[in-house]
Amino acid sequence: MGDHRRFQEESINGALFAPVSAALSLRELPGTMPVDPSGIAMWKKQPRSGLWWKAGLAMTVLCVAGCGRQSPGTGEVTESTPTPQPSITPKLGFRSMEPGTEAKQRPVSEVLADMAMANGDEAKATLAAAYSARLSRDELIQSIRDLQAQPGSMQEVVLRAMLKQLASHAPSVALQLALEKDPQAANDGLAAMVAEQWAGTDYAGLYDYSRTLTSDLLKYRVGAYAAFAWASRDPTAAFQYFSGLSMRDGGGFIGIAASELAKRDPNAALEALDKIQNDQVWDRAAGKITEVIAQQAPDQAIALLFDQDDPKAAAPIANALGSVMAESSAAAGIGVLNRLEDPRVAYSFLFGMLGKLREGDVSEFAANFSQIKNENVRAMAARSMARDVARRDPNEALAWAAALTNDEQSRRMAYQGAASGYAANNPQAAARWFETLPQGAERESAIYGFVEQYQWRQPADSANWALKITNAEARQRYLSSVLANWSRRDAEAARTWATQTGNLQFLQTRN
């Protein structure tokens, strides 16, 4: 009986402590004797399941984690309480092997699991970069394609790291893959990241690649990264190159080069401007140069505007100057506006001001609105400002329009603009509002603005509202406009409505 019990205890102890002994022997702790190999042999023979196996495994982990600590200055193992350690980033356990073999032994799923334990985005990005650096080009491409079909923030972090790694060797391939995931090349997206990296090393190559893209939007967005990099390094060369292109072929990037050149040497920018032959490219460059000069020396920009004898040349300069002055002093801007005699130049200046104020504070401009001398320019200002304000606060715009009691033309145009802005956000509420207005110029103007805006969303309702316009000439003009635009999208529906309402002649005269 006693022998049988002793055999059980020895068997249990062997199963329980053999893992610990094996761990200690592998660590070769100082001051310990080698463990009898028979203990390891016994451990290997034990079934790897059950309560005792789990207990032994737990003690192994505890021993490996703590038993190897030594007292300072001694070779003895102590059991002191471990010092709290700072949180660290889990690291990938790479072994020394041939390039590419590590990727096969550590699939992406394991990397994602490691990243889930990492503390913070920076730590996750570090892990992803370390993993990506060990992959061959073909492995990178395959892994990127695999990850593109998987949603999740972890996948996005790994994708960015892989695309960065691939872009350092094959930027065109990396950008092509990025555009598959990010087809619009959105700001801060994968394609933008790759394009910016590529532009930093080879902006000419990136620009050439952008011209091969079939989408005009992508040509612009990808090409812009190349243009910014080029203009930052050599604005004179970039200006010279883009100034010789049409707008469709990339001449629009002249604005980037013009801004950079004007910041460094305004006179050189103006001299280069005179050599541009394409009118649209000239307008873009002139506007950007004026913006820079107006921000640095407003009086010189004003003088530049009034030095222009050709209204066509003055218009883009006026627009840019108006934009800058609206931000610095709307009252001073209105003073310059009153000096402009040509209507085209005056409107360009006005729209530059209002464009800048669209999302900002219009209080100073509104307070000085009545100082605009030209009544047509003033009325146009009323319409544009009321429309923009109504998009944010319809009640404020309507109250401002109603207060223009001493300026009938501006009042009517303000109602038109307010109705247009109101309809952009809440057409049903806008319709209920102007239905309450009495018959008269304000109601008519409100319908004009409503129809102008709403026809792109509900052409049938807009056409019905156009029929309610009492002025025959205005009714025909707005109804013809609605039907023409409607027929471009759904010719059959537009013709059916025109036939049923007896207004087919308006559709026919427009076509």
C-alpha 95/C-alpha 114 separation (Å) is 16
Which residues on neighbouring strands pair with residue 70, listed in sequence order?
A: 77
Cα-Cα-Cα-Cα dihedral sign, residues 81, 84, 90, 96: negative
Residue 484 forms part of a structural domain: yes
Query: Would you give the DSSP letter of residue 316?
Result: H
Average pLDDT for 21-42: 39
Which percentage of the chain shows pLDDT scores above 70?
A: 76
Report yes or no on 8 lying in a domain: yes
Q: Long-range contacts made by residues 423-426, C-beta under 8 angstroms, separation at least 24? A: 423/449, 423/450, 423/453, 423/454, 424/390, 424/391, 424/453, 425/391, 425/394, 426/394
User: Looking at the domain assignment, is residue 91 inside a domain?
Assistant: no
11-18: average pLDDT: 40
334 three-class SS: helix
pLDDT at 277 over 80: yes
Rounded to 5 degrees, what angle do the CA atoms 307, 309, 315 make?
Answer: 85
pLDDT digits (tens, 9 = 90+) for 326-362: 999 999 999 999 999 999 999 999 999 999 998 788 8
Strand intervals (E) in 280-406: none
Between 119 and 99, whose confidence is greater? 119
Q: Identify which has the larger pLDDT, 455 or 6.
A: 455
Q: What is the per-residue pLDDT for 240?
A: 95
Mean of pLDDT values over 36-40: 40
Structure tokens at 140: 């990178």
166 or 58: which carries more pLDDT confidence? Answer: 166
What is the 8-class DSSP label of residue 250?
A: T
Q: Residue 43 domain-assigned? A: yes
Domain boundary among 34, 66, 98: 66
Rounded-to-integer distance, Cα 351 and Cα 497, Å: 37
pTM value > 0.75? no
Cβ contacts of residue 291 below 8 Å, gap of 6+? Answer: 259, 320, 323, 324
Cα–Cα distance, 19 to 436 (Å, whole number): 89
The predicted pLDDT at position 84 comes to 41
Average pLDDT, the chain: 80
pLDDT interval class at 440 (50, 70, 90):
confident
**Cα–Cα distance for residue pair 19/25, rounded to 1 Å:** 10
The residue type found at 274 is D
| Residue 476 belongs to a domain | yes
Are residues 337 and 350 in contact, defined by beta-carbon separation less than 8 angstroms? Answer: yes
pLDDT tens figures, 175-196: 999 998 888 888 778 999 999 9
Q: What is the mean pLDDT of residues 151-175?
A: 86
Nearest to 193 by CA among 217, 216, 160: 160
Are 324 and 298 in contact by the 8 Å Cβ rule? The answer is yes
Q: What is the pLDDT of residue 188?
A: 78
Q: How far apart are the C-alpha atoms of 200 and 162, rounded to whole Å?
A: 18
Q: How confident is the model at residue 507 (pLDDT cuts 50, 70, 90)?
A: confident
pLDDT at site 135: 84
User: Which is more confidently placed, 412 or 121?
Assistant: 412
Distance separating alpha carbons of residues 135 and 133, to the nearest angstrom: 6
Q: What is the pLDDT of residue 106?
A: 61
Angle at 136 between CA 127 and CA 120, to 5 degrees: 10
476 is in which domain, residue-wise?
Answer: 455-511
**Residue 57 maps to a domain:** yes
Q: The tokens 């820079």 sit on which residue? A: 292
* Helices (H), ranges, 368-503: 375-392, 394-402, 408-425, 427-435, 441-454, 459-466, 472-489, 491-500
**Each residue's pLDDT tens digit, 460-471:** 999 999 998 988
Read off the pLDDT of each residue in 293-301 and give the average, rounded to a whole number. Answer: 95
Cα-to-chain-centroid distance, residue 105 = 37
Contact 87, 119 (CB under 8 A): yes
The C-alpha atoms of residue 419 and residue 154 are separated, in whole angstroms, by 47
pLDDT of residue 134: 84
In angstroms, rounded to a whole number, what is the distance separating the alpha carbons of residues 472 and 444?
A: 11
Domain boundary among 66, 90, 107: 66
pLDDT of residue 2: 47
Q: Does a structural domain hold residue 184?
A: no
Beta-carbon contacts of 278 under 8 Å, excluding residues fewer than 6 positions away, are 243, 245, 246, 247, 251
Q: Tell me: pLDDT of 371 over 80.
A: yes
Q: What is the pLDDT of residues 207-256, one digit of tens each?
A: 999 999 999 899 999 999 999 999 999 999 999 999 999 998 889 999 99
pLDDT of residue 77: 33
190-201 burial code (b ≥16 CB/10 A, e <16)? bbbbbbebbbee
Residue that finishes a domain, picked among 66, 94, 122? 66
Per-residue pLDDT band for 508 (boundaries 50, 70, 90) equals low
Residue range 308-324: average pLDDT?
Answer: 95
CA-based end-to-end distance of the chain: 112
For the chain, give the number of residues: 511
Residue 32 has pLDDT above 70, yes or no: no
| Contact criterion met (CB below 8 Å) for 207 and 227 | yes
Each residue's pLDDT tens digit, 375-423 = 999 999 999 999 999 998 999 999 999 999 899 999 999 999 999 999 9
**At which residue do the structure tokens 């319809």 appear?**
394
Q: What is the mean pLDDT of residues 139-165?
A: 83
In a domain, 165, yes or no: no
Question: Given this model, what pLDDT does residue 158 score?
Answer: 82
pLDDT value at 156 more than 70: yes
- Domains in the chain: how many in total? 2
Distance CA 395, CA 384 (A): 16
Q: Which residues, other chains included, contact 144 with Cβ-Cβ below 8 Å and sequence gap of 6+?
A: 159, 162, 163, 166, 177
| CA nearest neighbour of 71 among 63, 62, 79 | 79
Closest CA to 450 of 473, 413, 423, 487: 423
